[in-house]
A and B are shown apart, each in its own frame.
Chain A
Amino acid sequence: MENRDAILTIPDENGSLPPKAPNLSIGQWFRKNLFSTWVNGILTVLGTAAALLMLRGVLNFVFSENRQWDAVRTNARALMTLTYPESQYVRVWVAFGSVVVLAGLSAGIWADWGRLPARRLAGWFMGAAGFLAVCILVREPSVLMDLEGKTIRLPDGSLVRESFASAMTDRANWWAVVALLLIVGGVIWRSDSDKKQLKITQVTYLGIGLGVLSLWVAPYGHYAFTDGTYIADPNSTVAFSTKMPWTVMWIMLAIGFFAGRWLRTSSYLVLAKAGSNLLWLISPVTLYFVILRDPALDYSHVFSTDLPMGLAFGILGACFLWFLTRSDIGEIGRILATAMLGIAIFNWVAAFFGWYPMLQKARISFLLLAVAALLAPNFVGEAAKRRQLLLGWLGTMALVHYLATMINTPSTVELQSTEFLGGLGLTLFVAVFVVLLSFPLGVLLALGRTSKFPIFRILSTSYIEVIRGVPLISVLIFFSVMVPLFLPDGMELAELGAVLTGYTLFSAAYLAENVRGGLQSVTKGQYEAADAIGLTSAQRTGFIVLPQALRVSIPQLVGQVIATFKETSLLAIIGLFDFLRVANSVIPAQSEFMGVKREGILLVAVIYFFFNFVISKYSQRLERRVGLGER
């Protein structure tokens, strides 16, 4: 959207643009906004003092001589993936790289973040320099250490601190950074004679690149724990096994992006969009179960059982559905579909009592076939519609059988514990998986609750009310106890599967209410107009109602996404090692870092904030793009 500014300033009814705010000098701006009355003046001074005091407190905490940041640095890998073995770590990078390429591709296809005035960028640099300078000034002077690295105390037990002047000279490196930021900002400002606009995509990519580059030059320090020994090398750059993958990721991001840009101009655009959406949808499960777990496939079993079974269900099921969508099918279609549902349910009952053996996959497929059969009456008619149902069925079968085979195959990754993945990896996986799955479910529930059919309405309403009336933690405990009863004996990842199921169902109930709020904002006239031009109810929902409803509910939906992400820390209660639990109970229990807890928790808070801030910012951009709150 190159002309975003033009959209933001929509001419009013008379065709004139809204009045422009007058340009104020800095002094005038201060007087108008901060010191307009003496009360405001006092508030301004007090507020600034409070902010500075808080900043001072945070800085003193972070740079205190009591902080053991080594604990966090040494445990960096534990915080990311916990027990995942180092020898297999390339799998983590492949998984992460796939997401990076996919992100680059999507950005290439869709991203149009517009442009950024170069002067604003310069302003950011100079603002960062100013903030950093304030930080350097307000932080308390460091405690003096003797030659053995111990603090020096006066006879009354108080600590000896260096003088303010020597503190400022000690922080010369930081002042150098301030100067560098000022110079870069100044150069950008000065060179911008013709009010240049920079592409935000380019600025973002270069920013990430600078971060990656700094891994190669900046002395972040190399900390590790391998084979029982601690490595602490504070003056070197990070390990090669960290900076190299990040550089590769950065290059892959560019490759993905340019591939996306190329696709945007090519004739495959529609296909590429659908493809990348599909990849996003299946990537969490595929990356987790296929790439990270590396299933030990037994090909004779695959070719003798898994493949033929998938094909049989796909082809025979397709024939069945083709038959059910004949235009002359009439009532018998519904009768057969109901009978099918009966068989599908009976299979589960039989499995519960162990009457006859049947693979879990077959039971799931029968159930799906019954659902497809129930949907069939909507697709009766011309060949194109019937083909849609068949293609949907074949795709679902391919996906279900592929995933079921992968999930049920034991992993070859050797672990010494049941926690296959922990830390940030687990947190992100659960959050992404739950959001992706609960979104469609939530939309369906919202549609069900506003539906005219009493049975749908009652079912959806009672589902939503029951789930919303129960705390998340009890839902999680319930599922971690109950779901294993329905899974095959000895199946791995039962705990995680239970969590994902319970959490998805919980999140869907909340999303459904958010979407329903949006649905209510769509006026009756929209429905009537859709009916008037002869749209079917599916078309009306898909093309008229939902786009408007979802647009309105963006703020609540994003709020729900953020809440989902943060509440993954409840996983600790049912025994999984999420990000927060690693910082809260794993690191303080290591004899090397006994009781070192605050550092890890601060880091966890910062990382949670980073992700949520990005989500929030992106949603604001999305709101502006769809014109929410403006029209």
Chain B
Amino acid sequence: MRKNIMWRLLATLFAVALAASACGGSDSDDDSASTASSAAEETEVTLAASGESLLETVKSRGTVNCGVSGSAVAFSELQADGSMAGFDADYCRVVAAAILGDANKVNFVSLTAAERFTAVQTGDVDLLMRNTTWTQSRDSEVGMDFGPTTYYDGQQLLGRAGDGFSGSSQVADIGGSVVCTSAGTTTEKNIADAASEAGVSIELQTFEDFDTVTNNFISGACDIITTDGSALVGRKAKQQPEGENWVIFPATPISKEPLGPTYGQNDSAFSDAVNWAVYATIIADEKGVNSGNVDEMLASGDTETIRLLGGEGELQTGMGLPADAFYQVIKQVGNYDEIYSRNLNPVGLSREGSANAAWTAGGLVYAPPAR
């Protein structure tokens, strides 16, 4: 009797185990009922293991995971209808249009400043378009690589004309002021350094975020606020009360903040794709190609334009992109000037006379030739 029971029991266990393992035969950890997605995930795993380029991963996945801030006015803002808008968001779309041929194939991931590099390293995002300053330590120690700068920013100060400040004021003029900025950022260190270099003493106050900083400035608790110039211009355009005149100074920023795409290091195929997608928008701007006339220019432009837009040659296919990659970028998202004007003009930032003007107009925006 005892033996009989044991046998029946073993048979039951065996049957259960068989049923379970038979079902789990093909795919190891993936319960997905959709074969398409399980295939994609499998490829992802193998690629990561064999060290192939992120470019192939993105192509097989079909979306670009793009890390943005989500709360940076005019750069990446989460709109009321749930869409992501702004300069950085549009550059995510540029990358998606170049690699996948569809600017909408972007999965935006909102990241805080603290978690952005970890998100790249763990593969949660493919690249950052998150107003991240290109610095030596980030390029070397943190293990990031930086693409071409899309926006040249710099830390400036904002004060009231009523307090005697003007556009030509210098850091040396702010002695004795209460200077406010957001906590835990490099702006805090920059202004302290700049003040001690200029030999003036300031009272530095920090707040949790820049909205609070601005509200304290409006209420009069702060004499001067400081952060990147792009943000200050936006604040002045939108929040300056009537009867007050806010001024931004010094004309030469107290720090250099080159912002652009950031990705994990040592992945040439992927970084080339991202870099040249950005360069394509700059070259198109130089050549006068925009989303409206891109079709005519493909037929009648100069040889470099036609090469860039995929009309001849194998420049794009050689780097693993579709031949018409940059045509799609210009057609769907636009050239540098279009992206800039669409997002940054409404908050009062203009290209003329700034470092973000084209190199032919005295700015720094420059791209290597497409040939």
B 32-61 binary contact with A (CB < 8 Å = 1; else 0): 111101001100110000000000000000
Q: CB of A579 within 8 A of chain B?
A: no
A312 and B19 in contact, given A84-B82, A489-B30 (Cβ under 8 angstroms): yes
Q: When the two chains form their complex, are residues B346 and A78 in contact, meaning their CB atoms are under 8 A apart?
A: no
| A197 adjacent to chain B (CB < 8 Å) | no
With A77-B80, A226-B81, A595-B211 known to touch, is A361 a contact of B19 (CB < 8 Å)?
Answer: no
Interface status of B84 (Cβ within 8 A of chain A) = yes
* Chain A residues closer than 8 Å to B72, beta-carbon distance: 589
Contact A362 B110 (CB under 8 A): no
Q: Is the CB of A575 within 8 A of B21?
A: no
Contact of A298 among B17, B33, B65 (CB under 8 A): B33
Please tell me which stretch of B100-108, B127-135, B174-182 contacts chain A, meaning at least 4 of its Cβ atoms lie within 8 angstroms of it.
Answer: B100-108
How far apart sit A84 and B78, CA to CA, in the bound complex (Å)?
12
Q: Tell me if A591 counts as interface (CB < 8 A to partner B).
A: yes
By size class, the interface of chain B is 35 or more
- A-B contact count, CB below 8 Å? 199
Cross-chain contact of B78 among A297, A336, A590 (Cβ < 8 A): A590
Say if the beta carbon of A157 comes within 8 Å of chain B: yes
**A75 contacts across to B, CB distance below 8 A:** 80
Interface check A177, CB cutoff 8 A: no
- Contact check, A323 vs B8: say whether CB atoms are below 8 A apart: yes
Give the nearest-CB partner of A150 in chain B.
B242
User: Roughly how many angstroms separate A150 CA and B242 CA in the complex, as a whole number?
Assistant: 8
Q: Is B137 an interface residue (CB 8 A)?
A: no
Of B23, B77, B106, B347, the residue contacting A308 (CB under 8 A) is B23
Determine whether the beta carbon of A575 is less than 8 Å from that of B30: no
A316 interface residue per 8 A CB criterion:
yes
Whether B31 contacts A361 by the Cβ 8 Å rule is: yes
- Residue of B whose beta carbon sits closest to that of A572: B112
Q: Which residues of B contact A590 (CB under 8 A)?
A: 73, 77-80
Asked whether, in the complex, the Cβ of A359 is within 8 Å of the Cβ of B19, the reply is: no
Is A410's CB within 8 Å of the partner chain B?
A: yes
**A568-608 Cβ-contact flags toward B at 8 Å (1 or 0):** 00000001010000000110111100110100000000000
Pairwise interchain contact B12-A302, C-beta atoms closer than 8 A: no
A98: interface (CB < 8 Å): no
B290 to chain A, nearest CB (A): 18
Q: A86-B81, A405-B33, A591-B77 are in contact. Are A417 and B19 (CB under 8 A)?
A: no
Known contacts A312-B15, A589-B72, A594-B235: does B31 contact A405 (CB below 8 Å)?
yes
Summarize B's interface: helix, strand, loop or mixed. Answer: mixed
User: With A316-B15, A417-B110 in contact, is A298–B238 under 8 Å at CB?
Assistant: no
Is B203 part of the binding interface, using a Cβ–Cβ cutoff of 8 Å?
A: no
**Which of A77, A226, A359, A418 lies in contact with B23, CB distance below 8 A?**
A359
Q: Are B73 and A489 in contact (CB under 8 A)?
A: no
> Does B27 lie at the interface of the complex (its beta carbon under 8 Å from any beta carbon of A)?
yes
Given that A301-B33, A490-B44 are contacting pairs, would A577 and B110 also be in contact in the complex, using a CB cutoff of 8 Å?
A: yes
Contacting residues, chain A, for B211 (C-beta < 8 A) = 588, 595, 597
CB atoms of A298 and B111 under 8 A apart: no
B310 sits at the interface (CB 8 A): no
Asked if B13 and A297 make an inter-chain contact with CB atoms under 8 angstroms apart, the answer reads no
Chain A residues near B299 (CB-CB < 8 A): none
**Residues B31 and A585 in contact, CB atoms below 8 Å apart:** no
Chain-B contact segment, one of A45-53, A350-358, A518-526: A350-358
Is B164 part of the contact surface with A, judged by Cβ < 8 Å? Answer: no
The verdict on B284 contacting chain A, using a C-beta distance below 8 Å, is: no
- What separation, in Å, do the CA atoms of A340 and B13 have in the docked complex? 9
Q: Does B9 contact A (CB under 8 A)?
A: yes
Contact B81 A313 (CB under 8 A): no
Most buried by A among B31, B69, B239: B31
- What are 29 inter-chain pairs, A to B, with CB distance below 8 A? A77-B82, A83-B83, A296-B34, A306-B33, A312-B19, A316-B15, A323-B8, A332-B5, A357-B27, A357-B28, A357-B29, A361-B31, A362-B23, A365-B20, A408-B32, A409-B34, A410-B34, A415-B82, A416-B82, A416-B107, A417-B84, A417-B110, A490-B44, A575-B112, A585-B71, A589-B71, A589-B72, A590-B79, A595-B214
Given A316-B19, A410-B37, 14 more A-B residue pairs with CB atoms under 8 Å apart are A77-B80, A85-B82, A225-B81, A228-B85, A295-B33, A306-B33, A343-B13, A357-B28, A416-B106, A417-B108, A419-B110, A489-B29, A490-B44, A591-B74
Which residues of B does A touch, CB under 8 Å?
2, 5, 8-9, 12-13, 15-17, 19-21, 23-35, 37, 40-41, 44-45, 65, 69-74, 77-85, 104, 106-112, 115, 209, 211, 214-215, 234-235, 238-239, 242-243, 346-347
> A residues engaging B (CB < 8 A)?
74-75, 77-78, 81-86, 150-151, 153, 157, 224-226, 228, 295-298, 301-302, 305-306, 308-309, 312-313, 316-317, 319-320, 323, 332, 336, 340, 343, 351, 354, 356-362, 365-366, 369, 404-405, 408-410, 415-419, 488-490, 575, 577, 585-586, 588-591, 594-595, 597
